[in-house]
Structure 1
């Protein structure tokens, strides 16, 4: 009887949701629609190489943008998690600034953009578009049955701002084949966060990024997340690579002011950069943007400080990678 009542109440809430969606915006966000429009506009303006590397669980394109002519490449991604869309906004600012500077052959903070003739930057700005849309309270793409499933995975709460997973309740950054079996997230069923799935690469989004990464074989990977202003760089790195990788990430901490994570004796595993380090034996780093926030997105106005901290990081990494990798 209790489950029946909860079901009826939940259905009534969800039936009213289209009205809520129309009036939901109380604080500014960077939406999936804004992102898609901006990426198409940048493609036209700067003749960027834009490609779909796969689709989300709900069929949205997962876009990749290549900037530069270099045969070597660095892969940068954002928004593995729905509530971390600030990472996409930062990446889009990077694409716009770098593309404009590259077109006119000017520097950014003293770093020449013609380095992109030798090392391309390949961006996947939004790995989890469904999760971003859910987190921002827009359930317009879902039918009633799907809304009910989301409501259940959100522990029967309409507080969508904490949503981290994809549309199937899988945490995309717990899906990669590096220590997946050993990771215990204390979550055994699809949820708004932490559920690692039944097997690695189960989610279509992680599978798409995994296959794309294996296809292009970048020399370095950067995964932007929020929050905490911290950089994670270690996952059982080979002893002969530790000093190389440490020296590289130290340059990033010096430039951004973010703290450097102290490697734990047993790293968590199953994240994108964990897998990249193990698969390619090359450096990778997870960069946490913004001051620390609880289970929600950072406020959008923090983007100005994060941009100032990160605006030339990728050009620095391209220069360093060219000489050391």
Structure 2
């Protein structure tokens, strides 16, 4: 943060810190370009190093050493005994290569929003157990693209992939680094990304941390799991409902043919569509947001599903071919499945929607696959941005 002198502008700070003006402006939505003396502005992509000055070293010398104008340091250091030196963040700090539960995700979200305050977070609902369902938005473009992960509990690695991507994206945005020869600022201005990185926090926590302490949920999940304390195969939410079988796109077909007719670790579509707080929140978000496209990340199979009952628009095929080429995944037009989030989106809005099955093997995919999965995802997400006209 920097304390303004009278007459300072956000454009001035953009130039001083070599951060695109659009990002500086979006990081400070409550101030105008021309600041008043004493106003606080936030500079994205920087943290601060503090130390006691016990030498004759001047601010001018320090400014030269960190490649910043001395005026920037003056505004941050009215107390010369404790110097605050801005330091550009050069590397990602999200560590997705670990057991990535809700607490890990929330800490990373808070850190990302602190260091890159042009990221906006809001709560769109709560899970059965009361964990917030968080939407992040990045960008100022008119075209809205939605990404989500961890509809299924044992596919939690998708959240780690998405969060790692967010960190990479905003790091390259603020530093101005090209991505495969492309300036990401162009896409920041074209696209607004909406991201729900963990649709099913109760389920993810169950898979990674075991049953919750709260009753009756602890006893019930143990009963549904046959008394087994290993929940690694659990896909459903904490009430035993498969969240990706909950949407009103031929839900009755799935309900009739699914073997579980009651809550279970996987595949039970509920007693009616949209009964669960998680799916209600996702449906409400989608209905209010006018998304141009959605991408739901799942595991596994290295496939991209892109059609539903002929409701998909012509452009869907062009885009999926670009995603498949970038990732090496196979584009699959139709599958015999209904009631999924993507199915419902395509049926209702007749816009491009995709389900990406990351990696291959048996769920939950081992964390040792993270690096290869992330590289494939990164190429796909870049292709997604490049596909926007």
Give the shorter-chain TM-score range: 0.7 to 0.9
Measure how far apart 1:136 and its partner are: 1.3
Report how far residue 307 of structure 1 moved.
Answer: 1.4
Please give the TM-score of this superposition, normalised by the length of structure 1.
Answer: 0.85
C-alpha separation between the residues in 1 aligned to 2:259 and 2:378?
A: 37
Measured in 2, the distance between the counterparts of 1:315 and 1:69 equals: 17
| CA–CA separation in structure 1 for the residues paired with 2:332 and 2:277 | 30
Q: Distance in 2 between matches of 1:122 and 1:291?
A: 26
Larger radius of gyration: 2
Aligned residues: 289
Shift of 1:28: 4.8
Q: What residue is the counterpart of 2:350 in the other structure?
A: 281
Alignment partners' CA distance in 1, 2:381 and 2:176: 16
CA shift at 1:141, angstroms?
4.3
**Matches of 2:338 and 2:276, distance apart in 1:** 17
**Structure 2 match to 1:261:** 332
2:369 equivalent to 1:298: no
SS in 1 for 2:284: helix
Q: Distance in 1 between matches of 2:213 and 2:326?
A: 40
- Render the CA deviation track for 1:23-59: whole Å, top value 9, x for unaligned: xxxx952122111111111111101101111000110
Aligned CA RMSD, in angstroms, stands at: 1.6
Q: Which runs of 5+ in 2 are unaligned?
A: 1-96
Distance 1:102 1:211 in 2: 30
Question: How far apart, in 2, do the equivalents of 1:122 and 1:138 lie?
Answer: 30
CA shift, 1:259, in A, is 1.5
SS where residue 108 of structure 1 aligns? coil
Match of 2:247 among 176, 190, 194: 176
Unaligned runs of 5+ in 1: 1-26
Q: 5 Å matches for 1:14-29?
A: 28-29=98-99
Among residues 148, 160, 175, which one is paired with 2:219 in the alignment? 148
Residue 133 of structure 1 aligns with which residue? 205
State the distance in 1 between where 2:164 and 2:209 align. Answer: 24
| Aligned pairs for 1:24-43 within 5 A | 28-43=98-113
Higher relative contact order (CA 8 A, sep 6+): 1
Higher share in helix: 1
